[in-house]
Chains A and B, each alone.
Chain A
Amino acid sequence: MATKSLKAKGEELAQTNKQLEILNGGMFAEGELPYFKDKIGEIGHFPLRPKKLEILQINVGYMCNQVCEHCHVDAGPDRKEIMTRDTMSQCLDIIRNTGAHTLDLTGGAPEMNPDFRWFVEEAAKAGIKDFIVRSNLTIIRANKKYYDLPDFFKKHNVHVISSMPHYTRGKTDKQRGDGVFDKSIKALQELNERGYGMPGSSLRLDLVYNPSGAYLPGDQMALEADFKKALKEDFDIQFHSLFAITNLPIARFLDYLIASENYEDYMYSLVEAYNPAAVANVMCTNTISISWDGWIYDCDFNQMLDLKVASKVKHIKDYNEDLLNDRNIIISQHCYGCTAGAGSSCQGTVAP
C-alpha cells in the first residue's frame, strides 16, 4: 500500500513529460500498436472536437486522506495544491453563467479544502441542475469535523458519487488501505439513513467501481447487480447506480503497471478492447476540467498530464465558453482507456 505520493517521493514518473514519453513511445512508436489519433481517424473523429458543454468539473485540490494505489491524481495527505477562495470566486462566476447542466467537484478529497463548504453553499445558490461531489466516503469518518458531511450534503441537495472498489473487505483495503472498507460501509449507512441512495429518493448516491489491478472493468450492469445484492444482504446498504470506470495508464496507476510488469499487456488490452462506438461520447466532448489553480483542461486526466486545452482560453480568468468550445481536444495513448469496451468516463460507460 502506498503511503506517499510519487511527487513527495521525488519519483521520475511524477513528471508529466516522463509519463507522456512512455505513452507515446514503446509499442506505439515501434508501430506494434496504433496511435490513438490514427485509430479515431479511421472513423473520422480526428481531430476530436467538443459537442455542447454539459459538465463543468472542478478539481479543488490534490490533498486527500487516502493514498490509493491506482490514483491518477497522485493525491495524498502530502499534496499541497489547494484551490484558494479567490479562484473559487472566479469559478462561481463561471458556474452562474455556464450553459452546463452539471457541476462536478472532485479532488483529492474535495472536503479537505478549507473553503469547501463555503464553495458548496455559494455554488448551490446558482441553481445548477445536477451538483455532484465526489466523496471517497472514508473522509466522512476520518475526523469529527467531517462527521456532519452527510447532513451538509443533504442540505444542499448534493449528488454524492463515491468510490467503492469491491463489496468485499479484502479487495477494497488492498487498493485503498487498511480499514477503508469498514469506514466506507459506515459512511454509506449514514448516507442511507439520511435518504441518500434509497429507492425513489431524490438524494442521489452513486458508486464508482474501478478495478483493483491491471485489468479492465467487466459489464457495468452485471457489476451493479452484484454490488447491490452483496451490499444489501451483508450491510443493508442501498445506492442508485454503479459506474464502472477504467483505470487510465497515468500517474500512480502507470507506476504500478510498470513496476508490476503489466504495462505492455494492459496497453494491449486497452487497444484490443477499443470500441469505435464509444468515441463519439467520450467525456472530453461534453466536459471541461478546471484545476485548483484555474487552468482549463479537456479532462481530469489531461489535467494530471498538464496538457492544457488547445484554446486561447486556457485559464478561467479569460473564460469564454463559446470560444473554449471551439477547440481540438488533446489526445494521447491514455485516451484508449476511455474507449475500451463499453467506454469509460466519470459518469460510467459511454457506448450507446
Chain B
Amino acid sequence: MADSYYDPKDLRKFGKITEWSEDLGNKFFDYYGKVFEEGALSAREKSLIALAVSHVVKCPYCIDAYTKDGLQKGITKEEMMEAVHVGAAIESGATLVHGVQMMNKYDKLSM
C-alpha cells in the first residue's frame, strides 16, 4: 500500500477497475471514449471543458490527464488557464448565489 492517498502512477492503472467488475467497467470506458470523440463539440472544446471540470471536482489525476491532453491538442496555456477560471467562476458563483438565500432568511427573520 502506498503511504499517501494519491499516487500519480495510479492513473496508469485506471483501466484495471474493469478487472473487478468487467461489464460495468467496459460500459464506463466505452461511454467515456464516445463522449470525447469529435461531435457537435470539437475534441479540443471537450478537452478544455474536461480540464475546467477536473479543477472543480479537484481530481489530481484528471488535472494531469487533461493538461497533457491539452498540450497534445495544441491548446495554449492561456486557453487552459481561462478554462480553469471558468470552472472557478461557476464554483464561486454557486457559493455566492446562496447569499440570496441568506438575505431572504435574514429579511424574513428581521423586523
When distances are taken between beta carbons in the complex, the residues of chain B under 8 Å from A197 are: none
Which residues from chain A contact B42 at a C-beta distance below 8 Å?
A: 222
CB atoms of B76 and A211 under 8 A apart: no
Q: Does B96 contact A (CB under 8 A)?
A: no
Cβ-based interface call for B92 (8 A): no
Binary flags per residue of B87-105, CB closer than 8 Å to A gives 1, else 0:
0000000000000000000
The contact string, 1 if C-beta is below 8 Å from chain B, for chain A 140-165, is 00000000000000000000000000
A222 and B43 within 8 A (CB): yes
Contact between B71 and A166, CB atoms less than 8 A apart: no
What would 20 A/B residue contacts be, using CB atoms closer than 8 Å?
A168-B76, A170-B76, A171-B76, A209-B74, A211-B71, A213-B71, A215-B68, A215-B71, A216-B72, A217-B72, A218-B73, A218-B74, A219-B43, A219-B73, A222-B42, A222-B44, A226-B44, A226-B74, A227-B74, A268-B12
16 extra A-B contacts, CB within 8 A, seeds A171-B76, A218-B74: A166-B74, A167-B74, A170-B76, A209-B74, A213-B71, A215-B71, A216-B72, A219-B73, A222-B38, A222-B43, A222-B44, A222-B73, A223-B74, A226-B44, A227-B74, A272-B12
- A341–B68 alpha-carbon span in the complex (Å): 15
Top 3 A-B pairs, shortest CB-CB distance: A218-B72, A218-B73, A215-B71
- Whether A215 contacts B72 in the complex (CB less than 8 A), given A222-B43, A222-B44, A268-B12, comes out as yes
**Cβ contacts under 8 Å, A219 to chain B:** 43, 73
Chain B residues touching A, majority SS: helix
- Expressed in whole angstroms, the Cα–Cα distance for A213 and B71 within the complex equals 9
Q: Whole-angstrom distance between the alpha carbons of A168 and B43 in the complex?
A: 20
A223: chain B residues at CB < 8 Å are 73-74
Chain B residues, Cβ within 8 Å of A272: 12
**B: interface residue count bin:** 10 to 19
Q: Taking beta carbons and an 8 Å cutoff, which residues of A are in contact with B?
A: 166-168, 170-171, 209, 211, 213, 215-219, 222-223, 226-227, 268, 272
A267 CA to B42 CA, complexed, in Å: 28
Closest CB of chain B to A272's CB: distance in Å? 8
Q: How far is the CA of A211 from the CA of B68 in the complex (A)?
A: 11
Q: Tell me which residues across on chain B come within 8 A of A170, comparing CB atoms.
A: 76
* Complex Cα gap A170–B73 (Å): 16
Query: What is the minimal beta-carbon distance from A127 to any residue of chain B, in angstroms?
Result: 38
User: Which residues of the other chain, A, contact B38 by a CB distance below 8 angstroms?
Assistant: 222
CA distance A219 to B42 in the complex (A): 12
* Chain B residues with CB under 8 A of A171: 76
B76 CB contacts on chain A under 8 angstroms = 168, 170-171
* Interchain CA distance A209-B72 in the complex, whole Å: 11
Against A, the Cβ 8 Å flags (1 = close, 0 = not) of B1-38 are 00000000000100000000000000000000000001
**Alpha-carbon gap, A130 to B74, bound state (A):** 30
A230 to chain B, nearest CB (A): 9
Distance in angstroms between the alpha carbons of A17 and B7 in the assembled complex: 33
A211 to chain B, nearest CB (A): 7
Interface residues of B in 72-90 (CB under 8 A from A): 72-74, 76
| Cβ distance B75 to chain A, nearest Cβ, rounded Å | 9
The residue among B12, B42, B73, B74 with the most chain A CB atoms within 10 A of its own CB is B74
Q: How far is the CB of B23 from chain A (nearest CB, A)?
A: 23
Closest-by-CB residue of B relative to A268 is B12
Q: Which residues of B contact A268 (CB under 8 A)?
A: 12
A residues less than 8 Å from B43 (CB atoms): 219, 222
Instruction: Please measure, in the bound complex, the distance between the C-alpha atom of A308 and the C-alpha atom of B74, giving whole angstroms.
Output: 36
Q: How far is the CB of B45 from chain A (nearest CB, A)?
A: 11
Contact B72 A211 (CB under 8 A): yes
Give, as a whole number of angstroms, the nearest-CB distance from A84 to chain B.
Answer: 41
- Closest partner residue, chain A, to B47 (CB atom): A218
Which of A167, A218, A219, A222 has most chain B Cβ within 10 Å? A218
In the complex, A216 Cα to B74 Cα: how many Å?
11
A100 to B28, CA, bound (A): 48
Q: Give Cα distance in the complex from A223 to B42, angstroms.
A: 12
